[in-house]
Amino acid sequence: MNRIEGRVKVTGLATYAAEYPIESVAYAYPVQSLVAKGRVVRVHDAEAREMPGVLAVLSCADPPRLAEDADPELALFQSGDVAYRGQIVAAVVADTYENARAAAAAVRVEYDPDDHDVTLRTGHPGFYRPDVVNPNYPADTVKGDVEAGLAGAAVSVDVTYSTPVLHNNPMEPHAAMAVWDPEGRLLVYDSTQGASPDRDTIAQTLGLPREDVRVVSRHVGGGFGSKGSTRPHAVLAALAARAAGRPVKIALTRHQMFDVTGYRTPTIQRLRLGADAGGRLTAVEHLAYEQTSTLVEFAEQTATPARVMYATPALRTAHRLVRLDVATPSWMRAPGECPGMYALESAMDELACALGMDPVELRVVNDADAEPESGLPFSSRNLVLCLREGARRFGWRDRDPEPGVRREGEWLVGTGVAASTYPARRRPATAFAFVRDDDYVVQVAAADIGTGARTALTRIAAETLGVAPGRVHLELGDSDLPDAPVAGGSMGTSSWGSAVVRACEELKEDGKEGRADTTDEIKGDAKLARHAFGAQFAEVRVSSVTGEIRVPRLLGVFAAGRIVDGKLARSQFIGGMTMGLGMALMEETLTDEEFGGFLRRDLAQYHVPACADVPHVEAVWLDEQDGELNPMGSKGIGEIGIVGTAAAIGNAVHHATGHRVRELPITPGSIL
C-alpha cells in the first residue's frame, strides 16, 4: 500500500501547523536568556513597544496567569529566575514576523548573573541517585555478586564510553498557531506527536478545563521525541494570542529549537564485564552518568538494556544524575536504549576481542531464556535468529577477526556487529468507527509524524472489517477525536491499533458503529517481558591518509512481531539505522562552557547523514509470531532501528583500524 497522504505531501498540499490560513494572524518572536544562571532584574521594552506593528510584549515584568503546578519548562514569565542560557524570558507579538523579530531584538534584558556549571564530567560532586529512571524503572538494580563474578572471570573488561549532547532535527521545525474564540475556548494548531496529551498539558498549564482546548496536528514533519511533550512555543502562542487579542503564530527557527525543544543527555558509561574461558558471562555491571536541569528531573534509562540482554549470574545496573544549569533533557529516538546499547554492545565487542571469540558467537552463548533482571519469561525473543540470519546475509562466516590488517589502497576495511533491543509496550487508547454512506470512518486521535500511521491504521481497520482499504477513511491528528496516547516509545501502532481493531470488531457486529477503550484489556495483559530484538552489521572503510570514515554497508535484521506494512516498516528501520550512523560518526552538540547553552545550533554545523553517506542500508525482518502483545501481534518499529547501529559501526572501525574509540562521535580526529 502507498501512503495515503503521500500525494498531498509531495505536492505541498499537506497543511502543517504554521500553514493554516487564519485571518489576521499575528506573530510571536521569543527573547532568550543570554546568561546561563541568575535573575532577570529589568526588562527594558519601551523602545520595542514603539516599533512598527508591535501589539504586545510579554515578560516576567507583568506575568500572565498560569497554573501554579505548571511544568517549570512551560511556566513562561512566571518568575525572573533563569535556569539556562536560551530560556525564553520575554516575547514580542507584532503584525508581521519581521516586525516581531526586529522588536524582539530591541528588547534589552538586564540580568543579575550567577556562576554556572554546564559540564557533565567524571567525578562531579553533584551526582545523586534518582528515585526512578524513565519511564518508571528503578534507578539501580543488583542481582548476584558482581565483584565475585569479576574476580572469578577468565577474562574481563573495564571500559568507559561517552556520548555527547544530541539534538533531534525534524524536517519541520516546531510551530504553533493559537486561536481563542469569544467564549474563551482555545484552538492550537501544534506540531506535536500527540494531540490528546498536548491538549491536556496546554489546558493544565493555562488552568483551563480540557474541554476548552483543542489541538489539531494533521501532518507533522518528524519529531523523534522532540514533539512528544508540549514545548514552550505552544504555551507562548496561547499567551501571545490572548495578549494581542488576535490569533498568533510562532514558528521556531532551527537555532531556537536547539534551546527549547529538548535534547538527548550526554552520558558517561562504565561497563565491567567478566566471562569464563568459553565466553559465558560471569558478571555484568553498567553504570550510567548523565545530566538533568535545575528545573525538572529527567532521568534517562540508559543502563536498562543491560537488564534485558544477556544471561549472567551477577548483574548490577545504576544511574547517577547531576543537576546542571542547562535546559532539561528530553526524548530522542530510543531514549535510554540507544546510548545504553552503544556502550554495552561496544563492551561486548571488546570482551569478544579479549576472549579471542567471534562477537556473534559471544552473543549467542549468552542468550537469555528469561529476562535476566526480572526473571520473567519473554513473550518472544529471537535475538539469536536475527544474529544468525544477519551473519548469513552479510557474509560474516569468512571474516578474519584480526584488526587493522585489511587494506585496499589507502582504505582500511573492517566489519562489526551489535545487537539491538527495544521494549514492546502499549498504552490505553480509544477509537470510534462508524458507517458513512457505503464506507467506513475510523476516528482516533493518533499522530502521523511521518511514520505512516494513517496508512498502517487504515490497513488494520480494513483487515478487521474485511473490506478494501480504499473504503476506510481514517481520521487522526485532532484532540476532538477519541483520546489516544502519544506517538512515542514505539507504542503508536500497538496502542492505537488495538483500539481500532476493537472498535471495528464492534462495528462489524453492530452494523452501524463501534466504540472502543482498551484500558481494561491492557490491564489484563499477562506479566511477561516484551521486547523487540535485532542484529546490526556494518562495514566501514577508514582512510589511512585523512581518517575519513565511510560506511558502504549497513544491514539490520529485526524480530519485531508481525509487521503491519512492509513498506512503512522498512522506512522506519532504515531511518533509524541512518540516524544511528549519524550518532556514530557525525552528530554532536557542543556545550558552551563559558557562556552556557549550546554551540553548533544549525544543520551547517550539526551534521546528519545525507544520501551519499548511506549508499547501502538494508533492513530485513523475521516473520515473528507473538500472541502475547496485542490484536495485531506487532511490537513497534520506530526506535529499534537506531539501537545498536553506533556500536556496530564503532566495532567495525576497531576491526578496520585496530583503534578503539570510546567517545562518540568517531571523527577523523579521533582516529589519526
Spatial contact of 446 and 4, defined as CB atoms under 8 Å apart: no
Phi, psi of 236 (to 5 degrees): -60, -40
Distance CA 651, CA 417 (A): 7
For ligand MOS, which residue of 149, 225, 305, 450 counts as binding (CB under 6 A)?
Answer: 225
Listed ranges 39-47, 331-339, 388-396, 605-613: which one lies at the site for ligand MOS (CB under 6 A) = 331-339
Stretch that binds ligand MOS, among 231-239, 330-338, 497-505, 661-669 (CB under 6 A): 330-338
Identity of the residue, 353 or 491, whose beta carbon is nearer to ligand MOS in the bound complex? 491
Which of 345, 373, 389, 639 is flagged as catalytic? 639
Question: Measured from the CB atom, is 285 or 337 closer to ligand MOS?
Answer: 337
Binding-site member from 30, 335, 556, 596 for ligand MOS (CB under 6 A): 335
DSSP assignment of 67-135, as one string?
-TT--TTT-TTS-SEE-STT-EEEEEEESSHHHHHHHHHH-EEEEEE--------TT-TT-B--SEETT
Per CB under 6 A, the segment of 65-73, 219-227, 244-252, 269-277 that binds ligand MOS is: 219-227
Q: How far apart are CA 6 and CA 450, in angstroms?
A: 10
Asked if 262 is part of the footprint of ligand MOS (rule: CB under 6 A), the reply reads no
The residue type found at 324 is L
State which residue, 200 or 212, has the beta carbon closest to ligand MOS: 200
> Which of 340/489 has CB closer to ligand MOS?
489
> Which of 189/263 has CB closer to ligand MOS?
263
x/- contact string, 290-329, with ligand MOS (CB under 6 A)? ----------------------------------------
Using the minimum distance from each CB to ligand MOS, give the nearer residue, 204 or 330: 330
Q: Residue 398 phi/psi, 5° resolution?
A: -90, 10
Pick from 38, 173, 194, 228: which binds ligand MOS (CB under 6 A)? 228
Query: Measured from the CB of residue 179, what is the shortest distance to ligand MOS in angstroms?
Result: 27
Least distance from ligand MOS to the Cβ atom of residue 570, Å: 19
DSSP result, 2-33: --TTHHHHHTT-SPPGGG---TT-EEEEEEE-
Rounded (to 5) percent helix, strand, coil in the chain: 30, 25, 45
Applying CB under 6 A, which of residues 414, 488, 576, 636 lies at the interface with ligand MOS?
488
Q: Measured from the CB atom, is 33 or 495 closer to ligand MOS?
A: 495
Q: Estimate to the nearest angstrom the gap between the alpha carbon of 548 and the chain centroid.
A: 28
Tell me the three-class secondary structure of 279-291, residue by residue.
Answer: CCEEEEEEEEEEE
Verify binding: residue 423, ligand MOS, rule CB under 6 A: no
Phi, psi for residue 420 in degrees, rounded to 5: -135, 160
Cβ-proximal residue to ligand MOS, closest one: 225
Binding range to ligand MOS, per CB under 6 A, among 146-154, 221-229, 269-277, 549-557: 221-229
The answer to the question of residue 336 lying near ligand MOS (CB under 6 A) is no
Q: Give the footprint of ligand MOS on residues 428-457 (CB under 6 A).
A: none
Question: Judged by CB under 6 A, does residue 534 bind ligand MOS?
Answer: no
Stretch that binds ligand MOS, among 3-11, 70-78, 224-232, 367-375 (CB under 6 A): 224-232
Contact pattern from residue 161 through residue 200 relative to ligand MOS, giving x for each residue in contact according to CB under 6 A and a dash for the rest: --------------------------------x-------
Q: How far is CA 662 from CA 191, 385, 437, 540, in A?
A: 36, 29, 61, 17
With respect to ligand MOS, which residue has the nearer C-beta, 214 or 333? Answer: 333
Interface segment toward ligand MOS; rule CB under 6 A; list 101-109, 222-230, 409-417, 477-485: 222-230
Is the CB of residue 129 less than 8 Å from the CB of residue 140?
yes
Number of residues located near ligand MOS, criterion CB under 6 A: 11
Farthest CA pair distance, the chain: 78
Does position 489 bind ligand MOS by CB under 6 A?
Answer: yes
List Cβ neighbours of 325 (8 Å cut-off, separation of 6 or more).
36, 37, 83, 84, 85, 116, 117, 118, 293, 294, 596
Task: Indicate which single residue of 85, 218, 246, 333 sits in contact with ligand MOS (rule: CB under 6 A).
Answer: 333
HEC sequence for 559-581 = ECECCCCHHHHHHHHHHHHHHHH
Element containing residue 440 per DSSP (H, E): strand 439-443
Taking CB under 6 A as the rule, does residue 284 contact ligand MOS? Answer: no
Nearer to ligand MOS, 273 or 424 (CB): 424
Question: Of 226 and 464, which has the nearer Cβ to ligand MOS?
Answer: 226
- The cell numbers describing 286, all together, are 553498567
Backbone dihedral region for residue 69 (phi beyond 0: left; psi -120 to 50: alpha; all else: beta): alpha
Task: Write down the residue that cell numbers 499522530 correspond to.
Answer: 447
**Residue owning grid cell 487579542:** 245
Q: Is 496 in the site for ligand MOS (CB under 6 A)?
A: no
* Alpha-carbon torsion (623, 625, 628, 631), positive or negative: positive
Q: Is 416 helix (H, G, I), strand (E, B) or coil?
A: strand
Residues 6+ positions from 409 with CB-CB distance below 8 Å: none
Is 639 in the active site? yes
Q: Kindly state the smallest distance separating residue 342's Cβ from ligand MOS, in Å.
A: 15
CB of 601 to ligand MOS, least distance (A): 20
By the rule CB under 6 A, 332 interacts with ligand MOS: yes
Site residues, ligand MOS (CB under 6 A): 193, 223-225, 228, 331-333, 335, 488-489
Catalytic residues: 639
